[in-house]
Amino acid sequence: MTSFFTQVRTRYKRRPAYQKWLFWLVSLYLLFCAILGGLIPAIAKQQLPQQLGDILGRQVIVQDIRINPFTTELTVTGFAINEQNDDAQFVSFDRLYANLQVWQSLRLMGLVLEDVVLEQPKIRVARRQDNQQQDVFNFSDIIERIASDSSEQQAEQQPQTAEMLSMRMVNIQLIRGTFTLDDQVTDTLISYPNIQFKLSQFDSILAAIDDKQNLVNQFNIAIEDQYQGGLNLQGQLQLSPLMLQGDINLANIDLSRYWSFIDKLFAINLAQGQLSVNGHYNIALQNAALAPISDINISRARIIIENFKAVHQQDEKISIGVLAINNINVDTPKQQVTIDEFYTEKGKIILNVTPAGADLAALLLPKNTELAPKNTELVSSDDNTAAPTSAPNTLENVNSVDNVNTAAQTQLTQPASQQQPWLVTLNKFKLDQYQVTLGEGIASDNIIIWQLGPINVSTGKVVSDFSSPIDYQFSTGINEQSQLSSNGQIDVLAQSINADIDFNNMLLTRLQPYIAPYINVTVKDGVFSTKGTLIADANDSLIYQGQAQIAQLDIKDNVLKQPLLNWETMDINQLSYDRKQAKIDIDEINFDSLFSRLIISADRSTNISQLIHDNTPATDTPEAEVSEPQTVSAATQKSPEANVDSAEMQININRISFKDSSAFFADNSLTPNFASGIELLNGDITNLSSNPQTTASVDLAGKIDKYAPVTLKGDVNPLLEQPYLDLNLNFKKVELTSVNPYSGTYAGYYIDKGQLSLDLNYQLKNSALVGNNHLVIDQLKLGKRSNSEEATSLPVSLAVALLQDRHGVIDLGVDVEGDIDSPSFSFGSIIVNALGNVITKVVTSPFSFIAGLVGSEEAIDKVSFDHGVSTIEHQQQLTLDKLASALIERPLLNLNIKGSVDIANDQPALAERKLHKKLAKTAAIKPRTLPKHLSASQFPASGALTDALYVLFEQELGQLPNDIKQTIVTEAPELSPEELTTRWHISLYNMLKNNQQVSADDLGLLAQARARAVKAYLVEQGQIDAGKIFVLESRINTNQNAAMAMLELQAK
């Protein structure tokens, strides 16, 4: 053995020096390989679990560690860190492989790895609560142990400036990783069974931003959860300065699986919902220093939530088909966020609103938010039957769960005044096909259900600083019958809105639960619609201009169990409401088939007053409280703005029209009871205004009990300090038996038979009432006496016998006057006095009575004639027609007629008539063929009449016509031939007319002819018996003061 080593040493000494060095190098290399490939792995396998276990305080397992000394490949298999108190694994992996490039690392003075592969790593994170109800993680003990061991070392270390370590890794991979989160606090188990990570061509120093081919630091992260949801991140990484850019894709994340982390904070439960996010990101530091990330840019991002459902106690409260935020761009240096579109569709929301608040808001707020519950009942707006609602239970459940403190304290790094506000721009918002079930319990003690949908909303651009108005469109259905749509602009800064509104087919029966507590009626039918423009702002300005309609209205009186008010349609064609100006202007209100019912009870109350519920709560005020002085703070004192709000509303209505309307009236305070109806009511009321300086015009016509016409016309304004009235009320052929209660009460007789036609005119001005009534009673027959204490003392039976004609008709006018300010004023007293005056007038002045009967405002005791003729003109014929009517109705009256003349005007007229006859005779033509308007100025320039004028002038005046012409030429030589002829003929004509002689006999004959013409007209046209008319002698002692026929009435 000794000789062997001696030989080896001898041979070694004999070798050249380079061989000696080579020998030692090989020996060292073999020793290095032996140590690296055998000794180090063995020591590491033995010491690593022990040393790492001491550091972590956990059991560490390493199955095998291998190092290939020739390729410098490291392989670690079967690594695991167990949980603190059991053998379950906290962190583990099946295999870790790393390939170190030694020579490249030495050359670059850094770390160069060819491949780093981690296979099937597993991490299990668990959270529980300890005995002090504090959250504890399954790695909390490790953190505490490491922190305790390193606290002294950290105190001794001095701050050092660290430089970035140069590292290059061609390929880094994590294969089939698993992460499990076991949250025992929320009883949630989330697992990500497939996590993949790949980083290519990693260089810790090279700036990725300078990599034009995008080959350096490329990474790809893919994470899948146990519910087929996944996260994919890919992009490029740079460490110094930090920069991260790439694309993110989060797909099909089941949000309901993660809701359990926070479900104890809320009473609502997320049952379903999928989240997807994709986009491009760019994250960077300001510089290479480890400062907070200050540059985050996101572009082309999209967030989608689908099939979202939130439930409470197994009741679905919120359901959303799709909620998408498209094309999101975030620029942190500019502090700008731009969103191309916010879109959502097919949503369903169910909520109840009570004085305690919205139950859905309570469900969405953390459970420690206090909301006062209020007991309410649930009732459909179509049904008055109440049923318990879940709204109170919702609020009680919210408050009954243990409060969870969710408040977070945020410390601002700089004053708010120094912070630049972010600018968020949303280019478009769109909401489609939403359905909302709203239970309203504020205006009613019960919950009224309103179904809203489909709701569609869209807007134009919306900027967070609200520098420009927002254009919007909105539409929704209401309870499946109504439709509400609106579009316009909203100015958030100005707090104003300008919108067009179209609201159709609102069923008024839905309002029954709101009306019932106050008015004892039932809205059985009715449809409301309106269309117009709304302008409003925060300065209490609200203007609405448009039109409105209520159709098929049917309101029932629940006391009488009868219809109270209904109509086919009520149209308002133009409406203008200004709240700030306290003004309502309406062009027309048109009622079609309106019906109303008014009943006076025995106690003189009306059916309207009986319908009002007295909901005023009774309050007992102790004397001590009453006697205490009351103080009013400045905050409670009314401001000038409050006075504006309380200003009296000005109302102006141009026209209210009625078509085929009706009304029913009953007076049960009379004995016997009175009842009547007005039907087929048509007409209008115009210029109705609350302005006391205007009057409203009334023009209405209808029928009483379907056959008796009635009209109402005139002007009225009851709003003046001294009310104004000028009304005409007309009744035709009303059965008097229907007014027996009034005749028995005020006339003292019941009526067995008769019909009444009545024209009433009442004028009220300066508290003075003046009435003019025209009364026609046909076939009146009085019955027995009523012995009423309120009956008139006038001889009613005698008046009827005096006024009734041979046909059984009474026709008279009754004028009334009174002072409404007088304490003794009453309509009954002034009417009784007026009737007494009429009877007295009839007895003492029959002719004046006749004039009143024929309704003539002019005197009918004379007939006027044109000068020189006895022909009765049309207007005078009308007067004679009225007189003839009166004479026919009064057979016991005779008429005397005497003619008269107006000598100053009748004499020249007779002279001209004589001249016309002579001219016709001289010209050999008939008088009726003379020109209709033949006169001196309109005489023909030539022809037969002109020749007759020359002849007649020479015969009667003995002068030559040409001499007259020559005289005119001498006086006016400048006249044209036409003007000369006209002036010549005028002179000849007037000289001849003045030469005609009219005698007293001619005038007497004219007066007599006029009297006979009147009689002839009355006999022939008026159908008056000739024996009732007498023509008095008019030729002797002729009255020469007027061109007329004088009439006299005389009893037989």
Is the pLDDT at 862 greater than 70, yes or no?
Answer: yes
Q: What is the average pLDDT score of the chain?
A: 78
- Identify which has the larger pLDDT, 468 or 732: 468
Under the banding of pLDDT at 50, 70 and 90, the label for residue 974 is confident
- Considering only CA atoms, which of 299, 331, 305, 333 is closest in space to residue 318? 305
User: Residue 897 carries which DSSP code?
Assistant: E
How many other β-carbons are positioned within 10 Å of the β-carbon of residue 857? Answer: 6
Task: Give residue-wise pLDDT tens across range 1029-1046.
Answer: 898 887 777 777 888 888
Q: CA-CA distance, 702 to 658, in Å (whole number)?
A: 10
Structural domain boundaries of the chain?
16-141+165-172+180-197, 519-612+648-708, 722-844, 860-1052
Percent of the chain at pLDDT above 90? 25
Q: What pLDDT digit, counting tens, does each position of 90-116 carry?
A: 999 999 998 888 777 777 777 888 889
Pairing type for strands 482-491 and 470-478 reads: antiparallel
410-419, 552-561, 880-889: least confidently modelled range: 410-419
Least confident of 5-19, 560-574, 638-652: 638-652
DSSP 252-320: EEEGGGTGGGTGGG-SSEEEEEEEEEEEEEEEE-SSSS-PPP-EEEEEEEEEEEEEEEEEETTEEEEEE
Q: Name the token pair of 128.
A: 């529980």
Comparing CA positions, the residue from 533, 664, 671 lying closest to residue 595 is 664
Please check the confidence at residue 455 and state whether its pLDDT lies above 80. Answer: yes
**Cα–Cα dist 860/868, whole Å:** 22
A 10 A CB-CB count for 198 gives: 16
Q: Any residues with CB less than 8 A from the CB of 14 and at least 6 apart, and which?
A: none
Question: What mean pLDDT is predicted for residues 450-455?
Answer: 92
Candidates 362, 417, 421, 414; CA nearest to 393 is 362
- Per residue in 235-294, pLDDT tens? 888 777 778 889 999 999 999 888 888 888 888 899 999 999 999 998 887 654 445 556
* Contact between 75 and 97 (Cβ < 8 Å): yes
In this structure, is the dihedral angle defined by the CA atoms of residues 442, 447, 451 and 455, taken in order, positive or negative? positive
Pair 103, 91: CB distance under 8 Å: no
Identify the weakest region by mean pLDDT among 302-316, 570-584, 692-706: 692-706
Q: How confident is the model at residue 990 (pLDDT cuts 50, 70, 90)?
A: confident
Token pair 């006029």 is found at: 1010
Question: Average pLDDT, stretch 960-980?
Answer: 78
pLDDT of 369 above 80:
no
882 compared with 474, residue with greater pLDDT? 474
Cα distances (Å, whole numbers) of residue 898 to 572, 894, 1005, 1037:
62, 14, 12, 11
Q: What pLDDT score does 839 carry?
A: 57
Q: 902: which DSSP letter?
A: B
Range from 2-16, 139-153, 384-398, 608-622 carrying the lowest mean pLDDT: 384-398
Q: Are strands 111-119 and 73-82 parallel, antiparallel or unpaired?
A: unpaired
Mean pLDDT for 13-38 is 73
Least confident of 397-401, 639-643, 938-942: 397-401
What are the CB-based long-range contacts (under 8 Å, 24+) for 254-257? 254/225, 254/227, 254/229, 255/305, 255/308, 257/190, 257/225, 257/227
Residue 972: the pLDDT is 80
Separation CA 744–CA 670 (nearest Å):
10
Residue 538 burial (C-beta neighbours within 10 Å; 0-12, 13-18, 19+): exposed
Contacts of 554 (CB under 8 A, 6+ apart): 523, 524, 525, 526, 563, 566
Distance CA 815, CA 763 (A): 11
pLDDT of residue 569: 94
Phi-psi region at 187: left, alpha or beta (left = phi > 0; alpha = psi -120 to 50): left
Does an H or E element contain 322, and which?
strand 315-331
Would you call 457 helix, strand, or coil by DSSP? strand
Taking residues 806-833, what's their average pLDDT? 58
Give the tokens for residue 899. Answer: 């003619």
| Higher per-residue pLDDT: 247 or 944 | 247
Backbone angles phi, psi at 593, to 5 degrees: 60, 45
**Burial class (CB within 10 angstroms; exposed 0-12, middle 13-18, buried 19+) of 490:** middle
Could you give the maximum distance between any two Cα atoms of the chain, in Å? 207
pLDDT of 441: 87
The predicted structure's pLDDT at residue 77: 92
13 pLDDT higher than 50:
yes
Topology classification of domain 860-1052: 60s Ribosomal Protein L30; Chain: A; (3.30.1330)
Coil/strand/helix, residue 198: strand
Q: What is the β-pairing status of strands 111-119 and 89-100?
A: antiparallel
The residue among 46 and 20 whose pLDDT is bigger is 46
The confidence score (pLDDT) of residue 763 equals: 78
Tokens standing for residue 494 = 């100005």
What pLDDT does 156 receive? Answer: 54
Mean pLDDT, range 883-899, rounded to an integer:
77
pLDDT at 649: 82
In angstroms, the CA 1032 to CA 223 distance is 131
Please identify which residue in the block is written with the tokens 């188990």.
189
Rounded Cα distance, 360 and 344, in Å: 19
The answer to whether 1049 and 846 are in contact (CB under 8 A) is: yes
Lowest-confidence region among 364-373, 876-885, 922-931, 970-979: 364-373
The full length of the chain comes to 1052
Question: Buried (b) or exposed (e) across 460-485, using 16+ Cβ within 10 A?
Answer: eebeeeeeebbebebebbbbeebebb
* Residue 964 phi, psi dihedral angles, 5° rounding: -65, -40
To 10 degrees, the CA torsion angle through 695, 701, 703, 707? 150
Q: Which two tokens stand for residue 430?
A: 């769109």
The Cβ of residue 806 has, within 10 Å, a number of other Cβ atoms equal to: 10
Q: Which residue has the higher pLDDT, 739 or 897?
A: 897
Q: CA Rg, the chain, in Å?
A: 57
CA distances from 195 to 177, 188, 384, 694 (A): 4, 20, 60, 86
Higher pLDDT pick, 438 / 772:
438
Q: Is the model more confident about 838 or about 84?
A: 84
Q: Which DSSP string do the residues of 719-766 spell out, in sequence order?
A: TSSS-EEEEEEEEEEEEGGGGHHHIIIIISEEEEEEEEEEEEEEEEET
Residues 581-637 have pLDDT tens digits of 899 999 999 999 999 888 877 776 778 877 887 665 544 444 434 444 444 443 344
Phi-psi region of 266 (alpha: psi -120 to 50; beta: other; left: phi over 0): beta
Per-residue pLDDT, 220: 92
For range 949-976, the mean pLDDT: 78
Q: Which of 146-160, 178-192, 911-925 has the lowest mean pLDDT?
A: 146-160
Short-list 440, 516, 514, 443, CA closest to 478? 440
Give the amino acid at 924. Answer: A
CA–CA dist 882, 873 (Å, integer): 15
Give the pLDDT confidence score for residue 401 in this predicted structure: 37
Q: Per mean pLDDT, which of 5-9, 264-268, 364-368 is the most reliable?
A: 264-268
Mean pLDDT of the region 941-965: 77
Distance from C-alpha of 931 to C-alpha of 950, rounded to nearest angstrom:
18
Amino acid (one-letter) located at 75: T
For 986, residues 6+ apart whose C-beta sits below 8 A from its C-beta are 936, 937, 939
Residue 822: its pLDDT value, please? 56
| Amino acid letter for position 162 | A
Q: Please work out, in degrees rounded to the nearest 5, the angle formed at the alpha carbon of residue 508 by the alpha carbons of 502 and 513.
A: 130
**What would the mean pLDDT of 992-1009 be, rounded to a whole number?**
80
* Model confidence at 529: pLDDT above 90: yes
DSSP label at residue 407? -
Both structure tokens of 359: 């139950």
Residue 422 per-residue DSSP state: P
The 8 Å CB, 24+ separation contacts for 280-285 are: 280/245, 280/246, 280/247, 280/248, 281/235, 281/244, 281/245, 281/246, 281/247, 281/248, 282/243, 282/244, 282/245, 283/242, 283/243, 283/244, 283/245, 284/241, 284/242, 284/243, 284/244, 285/241, 285/242, 285/243
pLDDT at residue 497 tops 90: yes
Q: Measure the CA–CA gap between 874 and 1021, rounded to whole angstroms.
A: 12
Highest mean pLDDT among 753-762, 807-816, 852-861: 753-762
pLDDT for the residue 530: 95
